[in-house]
């Protein structure tokens, strides 16, 4: 899982992207024929960091991205940064800020520049929020985390002078500073015309700007690195931004690393082989490889770092969307009735042996999970504090099914009240070993309660299209991030009209309308509580609000959570200043990393 490539702006992006972003945990793509050692040789005199990612970038446009891995952590910053260890807010493009009730004044650093040398000023900040993020013609879920209160108004962003920006909230909004401060600032001079002009299809040019067919060198950014090159199925290469603002205590410009190479690696086994042979400087450690690598630490001159429980919570979900397009329902109406029955979902939750799955997948290096909220967040509700948990209990599962009107035939097969055999298909990304292991056991577990489950592995792009566009699926296996420290980072996931809530997705900008979509009262309630939680300024009351959202979700089970692993990273001893954590990842402070003793 390449969850460690993000600075604050990209990390925020990944939080709001949720499923699609973190489904990348289990993706493997085309075989990489390139040997990283070639780059070591070619760049023997250059300070270089070589890392691996599991999937290719889908876009170079930050605003349109819904996937991870993505390239945005090293190339973009917001006005503020988030410390990857403490989660505290720190100055970035803004050197200071002042909060005055529902108003924040940001003071930008002097002489900021974009990667092409053009000045970065308050005009860029205003343009980013007023022309891009809140533009309804642009399909981005950033709007969901910026929308405030029942009115769903957005913060007012105005220019005071070239270095001063005022942000005013129309209503109380607790996460205002963290939300507005953390989003990447975009270049007005490079993008303004794309919002005024349309392509031959009548769409804004912005929607096709900076796709992966673009020359990477033309992408204008403001982070410590800029894109240098991209070769499909092989690598993404970054080089330092010559105009990056940050300098160390001796006045030396950062970052220190002169080249960063992200190898696109087909499989975990390939990445492991490359790391053991010295081709990679870092490797996310799969639990099954922990013992092997631990024995090699001294010889291989690396250390395994434990970042704590991962933000990703692994789950399965059923498609509860009752809607249709052009008269064709997304889900077979017979199966839709099953999936929309709470007792059916609860029965599945009791039928799954999570503990065995955790052992088989992660060798027990992880923990069971029953909530989508990050366990490291103060807003997380644990089972010990009242969150409903589902133990492995096939008998209870059968009782719930019978209570809901299902029945068994003489062969022990489960039938619905109309005599239809209960059978559904679970989809997962192609190459996902975790998905394969989970599905294999789940199939056996469900057979014990008379349900037949088929397993279907799909290309990540195809799966993403089904989840976010065609809505044509029955059940799927994936992962979610908990929205970070503040739950409002997941607002797009719970808002009834949110940009990405796949279990009952509404059409988003540019998509065909949906007929017959039904939103249940509990869905409305969670969405309303997320609004209230963002407006409540008392932290204890906010906790109680978000705890209630977790209680409802645990009862209704739009997602049946399974477990989450620990974040383990093997890092060469020659990589200095590493401050690894599950929350910030490996590269949150990439600007201060150093690589010495190049070989």
Phi (first) and psi of residue 348, to 5 degrees? -60, -40
Please provide the CATH number assigned to the domain covering 80-192: 3.90.76.10
* Percent of the chain's residues with pLDDT above 70: 91
Which secondary-structure segment (H or E) carries 351?
A: helix 342-351
SS3 330: coil
Contact indicator for 207, 138 with CB cutoff of 8 Å:
yes
Q: Which of 295, 255, 280, 271 is nearest to 599 (CA)?
A: 280
Tokens of 310: 């991962």
Tokens of 201: 């299809």
Average pLDDT, the chain: 89
Sequence ranges of the domains in the chain: 8-76+212-308+568-595, 80-192, 312-565
Q: Is the pLDDT of residue 7 over 60?
A: no
Contact indicator for 164, 511 with CB cutoff of 8 Å:
no
Q: Which residues contact 399 (CB under 8 A, 6 or more apart)?
A: none
Strand-pair partners of 184: 78
What confidence score (pLDDT) does residue 17 get?
37
What confidence score (pLDDT) does residue 598 get?
54
Q: Which of 180, 140, 139, 136 is nearest to 157 (CA)?
A: 180
Task: Tell me the average pLDDT across 23-29.
Answer: 34
Architecture of the domain whose range is 312-565:
Roll (3.10)
The residue whose two tokens read 């477990």 is 563
Q: Residue 590's Cα: distance from chain center in Å?
A: 19
Q: Which of 209, 227, 267 is nearest to 26 (CA)?
A: 267
Cβ atoms within 10 Å, residue 191: 21
Rounded Cα distance, 225 and 316, in Å: 37
Rounded Cα distance, 305 and 297, in Å: 11
The residue whose two tokens read 């631990």 is 294
The residue whose two tokens read 């400087």 is 281
SS3 40: helix
Rounded Cα distance, 174 and 530, in Å: 11
Rounded Cα distance, 426 and 315, in Å: 12
Tokens of 46: 């250059």
| Lowest mean pLDDT across 14-23, 222-231, 466-475, 495-504 | 14-23
The confidence band for 423, taking pLDDT boundaries of 50, 70 and 90, is: very high
* Percent of the chain's residues with pLDDT above 90: 72
Q: Which of 226, 251, 1, 4 is nearest to 116 (CA)?
A: 226
Rounded Cα distance, 110 and 98, in Å: 17
Q: Residue 82's Cα: distance from chain center in Å?
A: 16
SS3 content of the chain, % helix, strand, coil (to 5): 35, 25, 45
Contact indicator for 266, 29 with CB cutoff of 8 Å:
yes
Q: Which residues contact 571 (CB under 8 A, 6 or more apart)?
A: 281, 282, 302, 303, 305, 578, 580, 586
Q: Residue 209's Cα: distance from chain center in Å?
A: 22
Strand-pair partners of 483: none
Task: Tell me the average pLDDT across 563-583.
Answer: 93
Contact indicator for 124, 198 with CB cutoff of 8 Å:
no
Q: Is the pLDDT of residue 22 over 50?
A: no
Rounded Cα distance, 23 and 463, in Å: 10
- pLDDT by residue (tens digit) across 244-283? 999 999 999 999 999 999 999 878 889 999 999 999 999 9
| CATH class of the domain at 8-76+212-308+568-595 | alpha beta
How many alpha carbons lie under 13 Å from residue 517 in its C-beta half-sphere?
A: 18
What confidence score (pLDDT) does residue 4 get?
35
Contact indicator for 126, 186 with CB cutoff of 8 Å:
no
The confidence band for 328, taking pLDDT boundaries of 50, 70 and 90, is: very high
Alpha carbon distance, N-terminus to C-terminus of the chain:
27
How many alpha carbons lie under 13 Å from residue 278 in its C-beta half-sphere?
A: 12
What confidence score (pLDDT) does residue 430 get?
84
The confidence band for 31, taking pLDDT boundaries of 50, 70 and 90, is: very low
Q: Is the pLDDT of residue 25 over 60?
A: no
Task: Tell me the average pLDDT across 148-154.
Answer: 86
What confidence score (pLDDT) does residue 482 get?
55
- pLDDT by residue (tens digit) across 333-372? 999 999 999 999 999 999 999 999 999 888 888 889 899 8
Which secondary-structure segment (H or E) carries 306?
A: strand 302-309
Strand-pair partners of 427: 456, 476
Q: What's the CA dihedral at 549, 551, 556, 560 to 10 degrees?
A: 100
- pLDDT by residue (tens digit) across 360-411? 888 888 889 899 888 888 999 999 999 999 999 999 999 999 999 999 999 9
Query: How many helices, marked H, and strands, marked E, lie in the chain?
Result: 18, 24
Angle between helix axes 342-351 and 394-403 (nearest 10 degrees) is 170
Contact indicator for 165, 108 with CB cutoff of 8 Å:
yes
What confidence score (pLDDT) does residue 381 get?
95
Q: Which of 521, 472, 126, 109 is nearest to 326 (CA)?
A: 472
């Amino acid at each position: 899982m390449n969850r460690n490539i993000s600075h604050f702006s990209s990390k925020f992006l990944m939080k709001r992207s949720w499923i699609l972003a973190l489904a990348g945990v289990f993706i493997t793509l085309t075989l990489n024929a390139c040997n990283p050692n070639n780059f070591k040789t070619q760049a023997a005199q250059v300070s270089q960091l070589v890392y691996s990612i599991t999937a290719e970038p889908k876009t170079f446009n930050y605003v349109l991205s819904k996937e991870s891995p993505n390239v945005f952590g090293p190339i973009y910053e917001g006005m503020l940064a988030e410390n990857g260890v403490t989660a505290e807010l720190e100055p970035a493009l803004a050197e200071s800020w002042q909060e005055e009730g529902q108003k924040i004044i940001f003071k930008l650093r002097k002489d900021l520049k974009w990667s092409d040398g053009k000045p970065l000023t308050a005009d860029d900040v205003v343009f980013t929020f007023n022309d891009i993020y809140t533009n309804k013609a642009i399909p981005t879920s950033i709007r969901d985390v910026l929308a405030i209160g029942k009115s769903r108004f957005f913060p007012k962003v105005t220019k005071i002078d070239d270095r001063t920006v005022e942000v005013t909230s129309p209503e109380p909004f607790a996460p205002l500073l963290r939300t507005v401060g953390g989003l990447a600032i975009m270049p007005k001079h490079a993008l303004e015309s794309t919002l005024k002009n349309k392509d031959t299809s009548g769409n804004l040019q912005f929607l096709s700007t900076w796709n992966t067919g673009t020359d990477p060198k033309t992408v204008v950014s403001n982070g410590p690195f800029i894109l240098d090159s991209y070769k499909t199925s092989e690598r993404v290469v970054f080089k330092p931004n010559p105009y990056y603002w940050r300098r160390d205590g001796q006045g030396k410009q950062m970052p220190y690393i002169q080249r960063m190479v992200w190898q696109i690696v087909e499989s975990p086994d390939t990445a492991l082989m490359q790391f053991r042979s010295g081709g990679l400087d870092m490797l996310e450690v799969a639990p099954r490889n922990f013992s092997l690598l631990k024995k090699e630490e001294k010889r291989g001159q690396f250390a395994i770092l434990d970042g704590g429980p991962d933000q990703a919570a692994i789950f399965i979900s059923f498609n509860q969307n009752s809607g249709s397009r052009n008269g064709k329902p997304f889900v077979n109406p017979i199966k839709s009735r099953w999936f929309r029955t709470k007792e059916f979902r609860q029965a599945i939750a009791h039928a799954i042996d999570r503990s065995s799955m955790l052992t088989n997948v992660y060798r027990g290096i992880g923990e069971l999970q029953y909530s989508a909220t990050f366990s490291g967040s103060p807003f997380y509700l644990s089972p010990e504090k009242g969150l409903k948990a589902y133990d492995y209990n096939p008998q209870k599962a059968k009782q719930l099914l019978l209570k809901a009107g299902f029945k068994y035939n003489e062969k022990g097969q489960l039938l619905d009240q109309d005599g239809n055999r209960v059978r559904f298909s679970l989809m997962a990304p192609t190459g996902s070993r975790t998905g394969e292991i989970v599905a294999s056991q789940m199939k056996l577990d469900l057979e014990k309660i008379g349900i037949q489950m088929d397993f279907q592995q799909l290309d990540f792009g195809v799966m993403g299209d089904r989840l976010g566009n065609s809505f044509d699926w029955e059940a799927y296996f994936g992962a979610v991030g908990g929205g970070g420290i503040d739950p409002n980072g997941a607002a797009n996931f719970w808002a009834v009209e949110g940009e990405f809530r796949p279990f009952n997705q509404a059409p988003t900008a540019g998509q065909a309308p949906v007929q017959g979509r039904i939103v249940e009262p509990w869905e409305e309630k969670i969405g309303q509580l997320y609004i209230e939680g963002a407006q409540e300024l008392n932290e204890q009351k906010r906790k109680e609000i978000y705890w209630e959202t977790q209680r409802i979700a645990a009862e209704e089970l739009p997602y049946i959570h399974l477990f989450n692993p620990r974040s383990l990273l093997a890092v060469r001893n020659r990589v200095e200043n590493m401050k690894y954590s599950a929350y910030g990842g490996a590269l949150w402070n990439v600007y201060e990393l150093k690589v010495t003793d190049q070989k």
